[in-house]
Amino acid sequence: MINDARIVPIQSIDLISMYGFALVAAANAASGTAPEKLAAADIATFSVTTNSKTYIAAEPVKSLNFGSSITASTIYFVPAYDYTGFTKDSAILTVTGDVVADGRTMYSATLSTNALTIAKVGF
C-alpha cells in the first residue's frame, strides 16, 4: 500500500478503468505511448486488426484473436472467469507465461511475430 494509514476504497470507478488510468499515467510519466481502449467485438471476445499498437481491453477477456497481418502488439487485459486464450489467424502462437482467470488481475500480452509473452502487471 502506498498509504496504509488512510486507505480510500475505489467506489466510483470500475477496476478495469482504474487500471487504464494507472497505465496512462505511467506511460505519460515515462514519455511512452498510453494504451488505447480495445472494445469487444462480442461479449468478452476481442480482435486486433491494427499492427504495432498498445491496447487495454475494455472488459475482461475470454478470447482474443490477432489478424493474420498483425506481427506486433501489446494488450493489457484482465482475464474473464471463462478465459480461453489468444489465437492468430493462419498461425500457431507460441505462448510463454501463465494466466490465472480470477477476473481481477491485470496482465500484459506482447506479440512478436508468432510468439506471445504474457506477464502479470504489478501495481
Cell numbers at 57, concatenated:
481491453
Residue 74 placed within a domain: yes
- In this predicted structure, what is the pLDDT of residue 42? 94
User: DSSP letters along 57-99, please?
Assistant: ESS-BSEEEE-TT--EEEEEE-B-TT--EEEETTB--EEES--
Structural contact between residues 15 and 23, judged by C-beta atoms closer than 8 angstroms: no
- In this predicted structure, what is the pLDDT of residue 17? 84
Residue 101 placed within a domain: yes
Cell numbers at 54, concatenated:
498498445
48: left (phi over 0), alpha (psi -120 to 50) or beta: beta
**Which domain, by its residues, includes 48?**
15-120
Nearest 5°: the CA angle 106, 20, 85 is 40
- In this predicted structure, what is the pLDDT of residue 1? 42
Residue 1 placed within a domain: no
At 52-62, the pLDDT tens digits run 999 999 999 99
At 24-45, the pLDDT tens digits run 777 766 656 778 899 999 999 9
Structural domain total, the chain: 1
Looking at residues 6-29, what average pLDDT do you find? 74
Residue 3 placed within a domain: no
- In this predicted structure, what is the pLDDT of residue 21? 79
Structural contact between residues 61 and 87, judged by C-beta atoms closer than 8 angstroms: no
Residue 5 placed within a domain: no
Does the predicted model carry a pTM greater than 0.85? no
Residue 6 placed within a domain: no
- In this predicted structure, what is the pLDDT of residue 18? 83
